[in-house]
């Protein structure tokens, strides 16, 4: 088939002698297969130890090649439980045990160890840990460790193995992107026997997730109280678990309760944080670009003569020009801060931190927008000569600015002094008040600056 190299086909069919011939004859043999796989992917998939040895001897860098799903040969072998292939791959390159599949910021990304736990391959888990003893602390794209996964996938053997290790105390209270510890997730399992998890000496039985539920809350407030849930409830209470009562008026029932039991996760409503972060970043970057350019293309231009003022702004002595410079600088600084915050709290740093950076970013963008509008109005004011045009410009500009601020305050903050739940009534207040305020204030500012 098209896209499959001879080397890939030879590995696929198990022709070891042909693989050896191609590798020994060609200086840089093609090794690609379908969907961005390589000959090493295919050898790992087929558990072909001879082909793996030949490929690693001639093309050792193939261990770093990923397919279209971001999976290396090590991920494939871990998923399928091929222990001997894992041993060969890690002997050639231990660093791949710390590489996550897919994109780094994807919730579906996993290391080879995570995949081995998900698919229940205890022998592979032991093999990976024997080569890389510290990779147990790695987390996947959903910020879950191997204990989370053993509980979610209800892998009893792996759960017992993990809890028998001394480093289990470091994993047992870690939170995923929803704030769930392994105990929260255990409360939503269907068949797993996790008594040793509940009774573990280091387990925090009263930890809160981001929905403000303790493990006991998750059990008690489930819509369908089965016999299994009653057993888990009794076991939790015997080991000191209590209700949190932070969400005493909320019950996990209906679609929400069903989603918890089916996915073993308590979803937050802010699932669109990545999209929101991208929008903020684009808006902040646009404001930053415009204000940066305005700083070098000032209204009125620059002095062209040979005197001491050559290169200085022509309108530098006008008060309106000074307002332009100050407003432009404010917009530049606050938009830069918004870009910096979104960069620092990128999705790869964790969705929880990203979400909690939004209020600060939103405030910076709001200030930058208002400063940019102010700079535009004062810049036009500086170059106009007609007093009537200046007054009109200020009236329109201030009116629009106050209208924008009014919409923002009433719709986003919902100040209680208005006591309005109807959007139509809010609009009537804005439309009736802002022309008076804006027009009067704009005319006054125009007269002062003129």
Record the tokens describing residue 367, joined without a space. Answer: 């200030």
> Does residue 265 surpass a pLDDT of 50?
no
How does DSSP classify residue 305? S
pLDDT of residue 421: 41
- The predicted pLDDT at position 436 comes to 44
The pLDDT value recorded for residue 31 is 92
Q: How far apart are CA 399 and CA 381, in angstroms?
A: 15
Is 397:372 a contact under the CB 8 Å cutoff? no
d(CA 256, CA 7): 51
Which has more pLDDT, 358 or 152?
152
Q: Any idea which of 119-123, 334-338, 375-379 has the lowest mean pLDDT? A: 375-379
Q: Where are the alpha helices (DSSP H) in 168-272?
A: 168-171, 182-186, 195-198, 215-220, 227-238, 254-263
Q: Measure CA 265 to chain center.
A: 17
Options 1.10.10, 1.25.40, 3.30.2310, 1.20.120; which CATH number does 152-268 get?
1.25.40
Which pLDDT score, from 0 to 100, does residue 414 have? 40
How much of the chain, in percent, has pLDDT values that exceed 90?
A: 38
DSSP 66-120: --TTS--HHHHHHHHT-HHHHHHHHHH-GGGGGPPSS-TT-TT---HHHHHHHTT
Confidence (pLDDT) at 63: 94
Q: Do domains 1-141 and 152-268 have the same CATH topology?
A: yes
pLDDT of residue 363: 81
Q: Which of these ranges, 246-250, 300-304, 389-393, has the smallest mean pLDDT?
A: 246-250
* Residue 387, phi then psi, degrees to nearest 5: -60, -35
- Given the structure tokens 């499959």, which residue do they identify? 4
| Cα distance between residue 374 and residue 394, in whole Å | 10
What sign for the dihedral angle of Cα 395, 400, 403, 408? negative
Tens of pLDDT, residues 96-147: 999 888 754 567 889 999 999 999 999 999 999 999 999 999 999 889 999 9
Listed residue (45, 52, 109, 51) closest to 81, CA to CA: 45
Q: Which of the four pLDDT bands, split at 50, 70 and 90, describes residue 434?
A: very low
Decide which of 73 and 4 is more confident.
73
CATH architecture of the domain formed by 1-141? Alpha Horseshoe (1.25)
Rounded to two decimals, the pTM is 0.58
Per mean pLDDT, which of 50-54, 176-180, 392-396 is the most reliable?
Answer: 50-54
The DSSP line for 259-300 is HHHHHSS---S-TTHHHHHHHHHHHHHHHHHHHHHHHHS-TT
- The pair of structure tokens assigned to 234 is 């009794």
Contact yes or no for 162/168 (Cβ under 8 A): yes
Do the beta carbons of residue 79 and residue 110 sit within 8 Å?
no
Spatial separation of the C-alpha atoms in residues 152 and 197, rounded to whole Å: 13
Structure tokens at 387: 């007093």
Q: Where are the domains of the chain?
A: 1-141, 152-268, 273-449
Cα 59 to chain center, whole Å?
35
Two tokens at 22?
């191609």
Cα torsion through 148, 149, 152, 153, rounded to 10:
-160
Using alpha carbons, select from 120, 83, 118 the residue that is nearest to residue 101.
118
Q: Average pLDDT of 376-393?
A: 71
Whether the per-residue pLDDT at 422 is higher than 70: the answer is no
Please tell me the number of Cα atoms within 13 Å of 186 on its side-chain side.
30
Alpha carbons 330 and 326: distance in angstroms, whole number: 6
Report how far Cα 284 is from the mean position of its chain's Cα atoms: 18
For the chain, the first-to-last Cα distance in angstroms comes to 77
């Amino acid at each position: 088939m098209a896209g499959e190299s001879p080397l890939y086909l030879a590995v696929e069919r198990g022709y070891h002698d042909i693989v050896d011939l191609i590798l020994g004859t060609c200086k840089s043999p093609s090794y690609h297969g379908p969907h961005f796989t390589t000959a090493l992917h295919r050898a790992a998939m087929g558990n072909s130890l001879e082909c793996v040895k030949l490929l690693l001897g001639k093309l050792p860098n193939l261990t770093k090649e990923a397919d279209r799903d971001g999976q290396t040969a090590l991920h494939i072998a871990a998923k399928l439980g091929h222990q001997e292939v894992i041993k060969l791959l890690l002997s050639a390159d231990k660093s791949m045990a710390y590489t996550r599949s897919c994109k780094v910021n994807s919730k579906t990304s996993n290391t080879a160890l995570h995949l081995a736990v998900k698919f229940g391959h205890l022998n592979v888990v032991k093999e990976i840990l024997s080569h890389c003893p510290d990779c147990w602390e790695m987390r996947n794209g959903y910020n879950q460790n191997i204990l989370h996964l053993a509980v979610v996938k209800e892998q009893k053997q792996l759960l017992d193995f993990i809890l028998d290790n001394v480093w289990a105390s470091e994993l047992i209270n870690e939170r995923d992107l929803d704030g769930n510890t392994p105990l929260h997730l255990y409360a939503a399992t269907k068949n797993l026997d996790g008594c040793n998890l509940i009774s573990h000496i280091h387990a925090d039985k009263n930890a809160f997730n981001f929905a403000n539920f303790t493990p006991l809350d998750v059990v008690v407030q489930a819509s369908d109280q089965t016999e299994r849930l009653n057993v888990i409830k009794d076991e939790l209470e015997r080991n000191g678990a209590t209700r949190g009562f932070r969400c005493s008026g909320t019950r996990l029932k209906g679609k929400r309760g069903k989603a918890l039991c089916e996915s073993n996760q308590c979803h937050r409503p802010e699932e669109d944080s990545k999209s929101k972060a991208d929008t903020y970043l684009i808006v902040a970057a646009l404001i930053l670009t415009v204000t940066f350019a305005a700083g070098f293309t000032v209204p009125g231009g620059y002095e062209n003569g040979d005197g001491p003022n050559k290169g200085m702004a022509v309108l530098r002595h006008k008060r309106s020009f000074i307002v332009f410079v100050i407003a432009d600088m404010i917009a530049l600084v606050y938009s830069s801060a918004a870009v910096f915050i979104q960069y620092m709290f990128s999705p790869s740093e964790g969705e929880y931190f990203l979400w909690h950076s939004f209020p600060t970013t939103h405030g910076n963008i709001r200030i930058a927008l208002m400063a940019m509008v102010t700079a535009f109005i004062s810049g036009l004011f500086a170059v106009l000569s007609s007093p009537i045009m200046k007054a009109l410009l200020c009236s329109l500009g201030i009116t629009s600015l106050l209208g924008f601020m009014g919409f923002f305050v009433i719709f986003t903050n919902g100040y209680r002094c208005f006591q309005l739940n109807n959007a139509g009534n809010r609009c009537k207040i804005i439309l009736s008040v802002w022309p008076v305020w804006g027009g009067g204030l704009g005319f006054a500012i125009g007269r002062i600056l003129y």
